[in-house]
Amino acid sequence: MARAEANGISIEYDSLGDDDAETILLVAGLGMQMVRWSAEFRETIAAQGFRVVRFDNRDVGLSTHFDDAPVPELNAVAQALARGERPDVPYTLYDMADDAAGLLDVLEIERAHIVGASMGGMIAQLIASEHPHRTLSLTSIMSNTGNPGLPPATAEAMAVLTQRPPSPFEDEAGFLAHSARSARVIGSPGFPFDEAAQRAEALAAAQRAYNPAGFGRQIAAITATGDRRARLNTIAAPTLVVHGAADPLVPLAGGQDTAANIRGAELKVIEGMGHDLPPALYETLALAIAANARRARQPA
């Protein structure tokens, strides 16, 4: 792994594959460190002939933490938006999209295929809209548009998202039990659930870096960014929208709305998929991402 100074912060990243190949930039979701993009998934994508770059978003993992900034109160952020005012937050998803563009600058990657999941899909959408000259193609996975009219998460999924787990350093067993339950609640009912693997990944990520306040600031960034449909309407890059039919956290309507607001977007709905990336789908997803990337090579 390596570190880059970009957009005024430090960004931890790594790269897999031939440096001369077209780059796929993986953008992680809410509170997720780049290590949650598994080695097997990255290798499956790289085998399609791509260089794969992943990185820690700001306020998570080994990238810059905004420890001096308080965690905003979400109701205050929403009320400011409703009044047409700029919310008082440390950063928004636009800043996080600029981080990714800055990383491409440091790596001297002129253009990349942008792939994001969940909050990472929201950031990927903004990379494509705000930095179109850096975007070869866009793949938005299990994400939405910020449209306030979309259906909410299920009550159970929202509960595990917002419930703060015990500290892994004070109550490791409680932390791992919470992590496993959360993964099961929002996961894919149509595919096998490996609780031991989920626990191992959660513990490894916590030992690498643990910043629950950053999770709260990232939620505030999502809330403060608001409805992105007007920006999505400007995206011209070939776009693939992937969504699970059984997603309890970001319901399928979010993916449908995303595809409807990006000109020429293709929507791929996967039965049995929830709000995760089951290993059984790695090849399916890698082939879909590669096929969308090839659309960027075709003459307009």
**Tokens matching residue 241:** 């929208």
Confidence (pTM): 0.96
CB atoms closer than 10 angstroms to residue 300: 3
Superfamily of domain 2-295: Alpha/Beta hydrolase fold, catalytic domain (3.40.50.1820)
Buried b (16+ CB within 10 A) or exposed e, 158-185: eebbeeebeebeeeeeebbebbbbbbbb
CA angle 253, 258, 262 (to 5 degrees): 150
pLDDT of residue 35: 95
Confidence of residue 162 (pLDDT cuts 50, 70, 90): confident
More confident residue, 160 or 283: 283
**Tokens matching residue 147:** 């449209």
Is a pLDDT exceeding 70 seen at residue 299?
A: no
State the Cα–Cα distance between residues 94 and 27, nearest whole angstrom: 13
Is a pLDDT exceeding 70 seen at residue 300?
A: no
Confidence of residue 176 (pLDDT cuts 50, 70, 90): very high
Question: What's the pLDDT tens digit per position in 3-26?
Answer: 999 999 999 999 999 999 999 999
Question: What's the pLDDT tens digit per position in 206-262?
Answer: 999 999 999 999 999 999 999 999 999 999 999 999 999 999 999 999 999 999 999
H helices of 26-118, in order, are 39-46, 74-82, 93-106
Helix (H) or strand (E) holding 141: strand 135-141
Question: What's the pLDDT tens digit per position in 191-201?
Answer: 999 999 999 99
Residue type, 129: S
Question: What's the pLDDT tens digit per position in 108-123?
Answer: 999 999 999 999 999 9
Question: What's the pLDDT tens digit per position in 74-102?
Answer: 999 989 988 889 999 999 999 999 999 99
Nearest to 64 by CA among 211, 216, 207: 211
State the Cα–Cα distance between residues 243 and 269, nearest whole angstrom: 5
State the Cα–Cα distance between residues 281 and 264, nearest whole angstrom: 24
Is a pLDDT exceeding 80 seen at residue 132?
A: yes
Contacts of 113 (CB under 8 A, 6+ apart): 22, 23, 24, 25, 50, 135, 136, 137, 138, 139, 289, 292, 293, 296
**Where do the structural domains in the chain lie, given as residue ranges?**
2-295
